[in-house]
Chain A
Amino acid sequence: MSDAGGVDVRRVLDSPDFRRLVTRRWTISLLLTAALFVAYYGFILLVALDKELLARKIGAVTTLGIPIAVAVIVVAWVLTALYVAWANRAYDRAVDELKKELGS
């Protein structure tokens, strides 16, 4: 950890770039978590509180509830993909630059 180049380590830890990266990482994580909670618990509360809405027919017999249940799963996957896309591009690039400053 801080065995080699303790000065570099302190400098990176205190740098605005590093602090901004950590803040951004948690902001994005928590926003996506919030979106996930809204999608899933929104669905669960809809099931508990408004069964009529989910029972509404959108075809001959198909109910609105069926595409909504599938949508919850699809939304969960899309949120995962959004995070991975952001992290693979922006986060990893920032990590590589900070690591360069550490000389490792």
Chain B
Amino acid sequence: MPQTPPTAASTLDQSTLDHSTLGHPTAAAIGFFLLFVAITLAITWWAARRTRSAREFYAAGRSISPLQNGLALAGDYMSAASFLGIAGLVALKGYDGMIYATGWLVGWPALLFLVAEPLRNLGKYTFADVVAFRLRQAPVRIAAAIGGILTVLFYTIAQMVGSGNLVKLMFGIPYEWAVAIVGSVMLLYVLFGGMIATTWVQITKAVLLLFGVTLLTGLVLARFHWSPAALYHAVADGYGQAALEPGGLVTSPLDAVSLGLALMLGLLGLPHILMRFYTVPDARAARTSVLYATGFIGYFYVIIPIVGFGAAALVGREVIGGIDKGGNMAAPLLAEKLGGEVFLGFIAAVAFATILAVVAGLTLAGASALSHDVYVHVVRGGAADEREQMRVARWATVVFGVLAVLLGVLFKGQNVAFMVGLAFAIACSANFPALLLSIVWRRFTTRGAVASILTGALLTVVLIVLSPTVWVDLLKNETAPFPLRNPAIVSMTAAFLVGIVVSLLGREERAEAMFEDEKLRTYLGVGAE
């Protein structure tokens, strides 16, 4: 993505900034935030009494309804980056922001068509359960945990650094404090309430976010006689017709398709999303929950450009770009303009809540890879009783939570915008090919799975470092050895090829025999957890 041209501070409309309470903790913002924390901690207290077994800790006792799971999936996916980031992108770049928004939705149907139901039927708590189902446990679990943890870690770093910056911008509290608050509150959710609390925190946040963005959209449209055409007219008057036309976002078709692949198929390898399918009773509920999730997320991405265009027309690009050159403050500034200090406080609190909830989901996914995949299945060979499993799960949660806070502090001030892209690229290259092949291909072997996952993970990281995103933008070299900004088209293809070729080089009789029996479970749900 091209860099936003930095707006000179001198061109700022200073009077608008002076009137804004952005960056100062207002009573409304703190009040709404404390209310959210109080409600979610009450949920956690309620959930803690229902979290006694590993099944409850990792999978909410498989008691979540399709509508609830649909909201929780949407909550996991609609991060602060998509809410604030895409509104800002549309405000500053116009139509290009809309192109970006579409990419975030199209993974959901693919997730349903290719993996959701088999995943639910074959697995227990993690996607590695599915990959390792008929292969040798130890090597596959370790490889899958590497792919899963790398994905979750990069995603978490992006969220933590983003949250520190956002909270600093919105509430004016120091970066380290913001990171520490996010880290400790979300640890309380996960540690005591496990998946039950994490799910209900996601649901609460998803409802608040959808409500806030709907209200914001309504207030914008009300200013334009409920006519989007009138809104576009105001945008074109201010910033020229170019704001409504495709601009510089997509230049090379290959780069565009590669980014599209990562966004679409990366979803099919995100551990914290895949984990949600184990919280519903059966494959049918998993299927229906994707329909709800796609509806909520689709609605969100259809209305968020109106918020972005509204911010451009009513607040102005100079003011938005002056406060934060990525445009992240477009939605909060618009909220203040249309609904005053109280609405700004509400939107700021929702953004904070969004970060908390997403980091909680990521922590649970990271912890489950450490405890369920590595400790229980590799170290203990699958023989750990309930008490031991729960103890290890909680320790893994603490380890991952502390790691998240430390990484957040370590990466302070770094440009981590590429890290979400990196997380999606690893997810679609390391996790997705092995997951799909293990479901559909009889001849898939342990060696094939391990080789595919490691190839995908390693190649993605190396190619991202050699790409213009890191090599030129971050390391300030002249030209990049690898031309694509997103390597998915190369790294995912390589992971599939390596997985197939290595599997064909040797046979695994036991895995092939199990494939037939497994079909009953994959397609009919017989024997599913």
Which residues of A are at the interface with B, using a C-beta cutoff of 8 A?
1-2, 9, 12-13, 18, 21-22, 25-26, 29-30, 32-33, 36, 39-41, 43-45, 47-49, 51, 54-55, 59-63, 65-66, 69-70, 72-74, 76-77, 79-81, 83-84, 87-88, 92, 95, 98-99, 102, 104
In the complex, chain A residues whose CB is within 8 Å of the CB of B302: 70, 73-74
Which residues of B are at the interface with A, using a C-beta cutoff of 8 A?
95, 98-99, 101-103, 105-106, 108-110, 112-114, 117, 228-229, 232-233, 235-236, 241, 244-246, 249-253, 256-257, 260, 264, 284, 287-288, 290-291, 294-295, 298, 301-302, 305, 440, 516-517, 519-521, 523-527
Chain A contact residues, majority secondary structure: helix
Beyond the given A1-B520, A18-B519, could you list 7 further A-B residue pairs with CB under 8 A, ordered by the A residue number? A44-B250, A47-B99, A48-B252, A61-B244, A76-B105, A84-B291, A102-B520
Question: Closest CB-CB distance, B69 to chain A, in whole Å?
Answer: 14
- Asked if residues A29 and B108 are in contact (CB atoms below 8 Å), the reply is no
Instruction: Give bound CA distance, A91 to B235, whole Å.
Output: 48
- Asked if residues A13 and B250 are in contact (CB atoms below 8 Å), the reply is no
Question: Closest CB-CB distance, B120 to chain A, in whole Å?
Answer: 13
In the complex, chain A residues whose CB is within 8 Å of the CB of B520: 1-2, 9, 12-13, 102
- Asked if residues B526 and A40 are in contact (CB atoms below 8 Å), the reply is no
In the complex, chain A residues whose CB is within 8 Å of the CB of B245: 51, 54-55, 63, 65
Would A40 and B106 be within 8 Å (CB), given that A13-B520, A49-B253 are in contact?
Answer: yes
- Asked if residues A41 and B257 are in contact (CB atoms below 8 Å), the reply is yes
- Asked if residues B246 and A47 are in contact (CB atoms below 8 Å), the reply is yes
Instruction: Give bound CA distance, A65 to B132, whole Å.
Output: 45
Q: Which residue of B lies closest to A45 (CB)?
A: B253
- Asked if residues B523 and A95 are in contact (CB atoms below 8 Å), the reply is yes
Instruction: Give bound CA distance, A26 to B440, whole Å.
Output: 10
Would A81 and B229 be within 8 Å (CB), given that A44-B260, A76-B105 are in contact?
Answer: no
Would A102 and B526 be within 8 Å (CB), given that A9-B517, A41-B257 are in contact?
Answer: yes
In the complex, chain B residues whose CB is within 8 Å of the CB of A43: 99, 102
Chain A-chain B contacts (Cβ-Cβ < 8 Å), number = 164
- Asked if residues B523 and A25 are in contact (CB atoms below 8 Å), the reply is yes
Question: Closest CB-CB distance, A42 to chain B, in whole Å?
Answer: 11
Instruction: Give bound CA distance, A45 to B255, whole Å.
Output: 11
13 A-B contact pairs sorted by A residue (CB < 8 Å): A1-B527, A32-B113, A43-B99, A47-B246, A61-B241, A63-B95, A63-B245, A73-B102, A77-B295, A77-B298, A80-B109, A80-B290, A84-B290
Question: Closest CB-CB distance, A25 to chain B, in whole Å?
Answer: 7
- Asked if residues A47 and B108 are in contact (CB atoms below 8 Å), the reply is no
Instruction: Give bound CA distance, A88 to B291, whole Å.
Output: 12
Q: Which residue of B lies closest to A34 (CB)?
A: B113
Instruction: Give bound CA distance, A13 to B302, whole Å.
Output: 44
- Asked if residues B256 and A21 are in contact (CB atoms below 8 Å), the reply is no
In the complex, chain B residues whose CB is within 8 Å of the CB of A74: 298, 302
Q: Which residue of A lies closest to B300 (CB)?
A: A73
In the complex, chain A residues whose CB is within 8 Å of the CB of B516: 13
- Asked if residues B244 and A62 are in contact (CB atoms below 8 Å), the reply is yes
In the complex, chain B residues whose CB is within 8 Å of the CB of A104: 526
Would A63 and B287 be within 8 Å (CB), given that A40-B264, A76-B105 are in contact?
Answer: no
Instruction: Give bound CA distance, A6 to B413, whole Å.
Output: 61
